[in-house]
Structure 1
Amino acid sequence: MEKNSQKKMENQIDDEGALGLGSALTNCINLSNLTLNLGNNQIGVIGAIGASGLGSALANCINLSNLTLCLDRNQIGDKGASGLGSALANCINLSNLTLELRGNQIGAMGASDLGSALANCINLSNLELYLLNNQIGDEGASGLGSALANCINLSNLTLYLNGNQIGDKGASGLGSALANCINLSNLTLCLGGNQIGAMGASDLGSALAKCINLSNLTLDLNRNQIGDKGASGLGSVLANCINLSNLTLNFGGNQIGAMGASDLGSALANCINLSNLTLWLGQKQFICFGL
């Protein structure tokens, strides 16, 4: 009975429905803030036209400055992600954007194209991008980072790339690209459940240390394979983040032993301006410091 009731509550919005909704919203000429949740529908079943068309319609909302768009667990794919990004690039007044695209069969091309398009949103200062459980891989992670580095006014970035088959090469490429985000002050980077090892973790840390204005950093590398060497190397380079005041590190499920934990702690002690530190080093354990 309960299961049947739940099914009745679900929607079945497809490409045509998404297009119609977007077209109608273009008539809201004074719209400046919009939250639109279309997760768990059937957008992209026919093709990518639903996501692309919805984006194109929203681009006509000329006063839109704050947008949250959830298309989680549809089937928009690379083509839909690329089209959505290209359309949103025309939202010239957009300053705050949250895109939730979990579980959408997006690969390297879609992620890179999405990033390149969003770089054209010249007034964008706050971006949250949720691409969990897609298939962007090393190439997509590097390409996305390189594109976002062109968002010249970006100061706050939240990037969730959990479960995307990203290895050392992707982590290194992503970090190197983000190091060029010269105005970035707040960064949340979640890369849990990938295949990042010691080299990728160290390279990522070295790159982030070059973000000279970074004051708040959350770095989630849980369920990778960084080990003692990765924890030590990452800690050593993060100690060079001279303006870092708030740091959260999640290294659970990474086969880190006593040496790695000790080296990490010793290195972070050199972060002279650090006032708040949270370390997750186990499945259900965390250490929180007010320094």
Structure 2
Amino acid sequence: MTKLNSLEQLQKQNKSITQKLELNIRKLQTDIQTIKIIGEQISKFENLQILALSLNDQQISEESAQILGECIAKCTSVSTLDLFLEWNSLRDNGIKLILQHIGKNPNFKQISIDLYRNGLPQEYGQILGEALSQCIYIENLSLHLAFNCLTIKGVKTTAFYISQCINLKQLRLCLYNNQIQQSEIPQVMEYIKKLVHLNYLYLDLGKNKIGDKGALLLGCEISSSQTLSQLTIRLYENEISEEGIKVLAQQISQCQNLSLLCLNLYLNQIKTNGASLLGQQLQKCTNLKQLSLSLGHNQIKEKGVSDIGNSIANLRNLRQLELSFSVNEAQNEGAQNLAKSISCCSELTQLSLYLFQNQINSKEIMHTPAFILKLKNLQSLNIDIGCNNINLSDLLKMNQSLFKFANLNTFNLQIMMCNIDLRQVYVLKRQLRKVQKLVQFSIMI
């Protein structure tokens, strides 16, 4: 990706060979004349395939948007467009004027629009939706609407128009920190379900007011979408308890085509029994190849962690696994049982295990590498055991075990707040340099 930060760089850039371009014009004085020059320069690229245009912290007028849209549309070779429009206080038809030209180009398959912190009023859903509905050829859409003032009316209107993009296969919809209530979830999902070719859905509803009822309604809507093979749901800080997570997991487990599942339930009210109920449902997702589960800040004790581990032991097709139990109460036995269960997933190539602040001591953490050593195909290992009772001698022993991995090439260790000083970190790194298979390693304190 060629990255340019000035008008001069853009004018000098070779227009015939550049295929990937990222243009950040945040610091330019974007008057009409400047926008016109930028647009003219962009339209001259002959073989451009990916264009990322950052217009953060600007006040883009309708006339400027019209010029940009017309010029970008002339880049007939572009298939991927990323528009970064953060902090713009958009109130007009700017985005619509940009997309009405681009949408008619059949080569545009992937569009990402970032409208983070624009203070969008609810009526903006109509403008944005109408703009998106013109992009009839797109297959991949990312829409970032976090930290706005959208109520369900605005979100619902946007979702309605998105449903008219009948070729969509992948949709990323970021709606965290808006004003969406639990009973309003079906009003969004009823339109998303109309996308009959959709196989990947990324839905971020963090820091709204979803609750247990919202989790139930969301689960019911998702379970009826039989085309999904990849699903990411982010529900952090939504006051979801064990009842909510139980019904959500029950519904998700009915999606038998899932190969990728990411659940972010950070900072809810799940506790130990909720984790156990989640585990019971997860083990039904036997086709999963990638699983990411974030349960940080949920007061989960050893039994809950162990039960999650037991469920994962049944997912024998897993290739990538990421588990976060940071700031819970896993303690020693929970950590051991978790590692033992993970060792049953013999096909794993990537493992990330986050156990920050869990009352684990050095003596017991040493059992973890012994189990993980059974993962003969492991290539990447990330471990966070920060804010636990860990000492240098046992960390050295853990490092020593890395010599026994046949395929490991990446290792990252986080030991923040473990009373390990810089001199001791140097000792650890010196040892890691002797592991010849490692291409990349890091230690964070």
**TM-score in same-fold range (> 0.5):** yes
Partner of 1:268: 342
Query: Does structure 1 conserve the Cα–Cα contact (< 8 Å) formed by 2:142 and 2:172?
Result: yes
Partner of 1:218: 292
Alpha-carbon distance, 1:24 to partner: 5.4
Choose from 47, 69, 73 the match for 2:147: 73
After superposition, what is the alpha-carbon deviation per residue over 1:4-55, rounded to whole angstroms, capped at 9, x for unaligned?
Answer: xx988742113xx2x55336523431243222111101212xxx22124422
Choose from 196, 207, 221 the match for 2:270: 196
Query: Does structure 2 conserve the Cα–Cα contact (< 8 Å) formed by 1:82 and 1:111?
Result: no
Could you tell me how far apart the structure 1 residues matched to 2:176 and 2:126 are? Answer: 16
The structure showing larger relative contact order (alpha-carbon pairs under 8 Å, at least 6 residues apart) is 1
Letter paired with 1:217? L
Could you tell me how far apart the structure 2 residues matched to 1:175 and 1:185 are? Answer: 15
Partner of 1:35: 112
Could you tell me how far apart the structure 2 residues matched to 1:89 and 1:7 are? Answer: 30
Higher Rg of the two aligned structures: 2
Partner of 1:282: 356
TM, length-normalised to structure 1: 0.87
User: Are residue 247 (structure 1) and residue 321 (structure 2) matched?
Assistant: yes
Letter paired with 1:271? C
Could you tell me how far apart the structure 1 residues matched to 2:124 and 2:58 are? Answer: 23
Query: Does structure 1 conserve the Cα–Cα contact (< 8 Å) formed by 2:316 and 2:344?
Result: no
Choose from 249, 253, 272 the match for 1:179: 253
- 3-state DSSP of counterpart to 1:231: helix
Could you tell me how far apart the structure 1 residues matched to 2:318 and 2:155 are? Answer: 33
- 3-state DSSP of counterpart to 1:69: strand
Alpha-carbon distance, 1:164 to partner: 1.2
| Further displaced range: 266-275 or 181-190 | 266-275
Partner of 2:187: 113
Q: Percent identity?
A: 35
| Further displaced range: 234-243 or 82-91 | 82-91
Please give the residue correspondences for 1:87-98 in structure 2 after superposition, counting only pairs within 5 Å.
87-98=161-172
After superposition, what is the alpha-carbon deviation per residue over 1:40-95, rounded to whole angstroms, capped at 9, x for unaligned?
Answer: 01212xxx221244224412322121111111100112222333223222221011
Partner of 1:3: none
Letter paired with 1:195? Q
Could you tell me how far apart the structure 1 residues matched to 2:332 and 2:344 are? Answer: 19
Could you tell me how far apart the structure 2 residues matched to 1:245 and 1:140 are? Answer: 31
Count of residue correspondences: 281
TM, length-normalised to structure 2: 0.58
Alpha-carbon distance, 1:176 to partner: 0.8
What value does the CA root-mean-square deviation take over the aligned residues? 2.6
Partner of 2:199: 125
Please, which runs of 5 or more residues in structure 2 have no aligned partner?
1-55, 60-86, 359-382, 386-397, 409-445
User: Are residue 12 (structure 1) and residue 89 (structure 2) matched?
Assistant: yes
Could you tell me how far apart the structure 2 residues matched to 1:238 and 1:268 are? Answer: 7
Could you tell me how far apart the structure 1 residues matched to 2:347 and 2:95 are? Answer: 49
Alpha-carbon distance, 1:183 to partner: 1.2
- 3-state DSSP of counterpart to 1:233: helix
Choose from 157, 164, 170 the match for 1:83: 157
Could you tell me how far apart the structure 2 residues matched to 1:266 and 1:41 are? Answer: 47
Please, which runs of 5 or more residues in structure 1 have no aligned partner?
1-5
Could you tell me how far apart the structure 2 residues matched to 1:194 and 1:50 are? Answer: 31
Partner of 2:305: 231
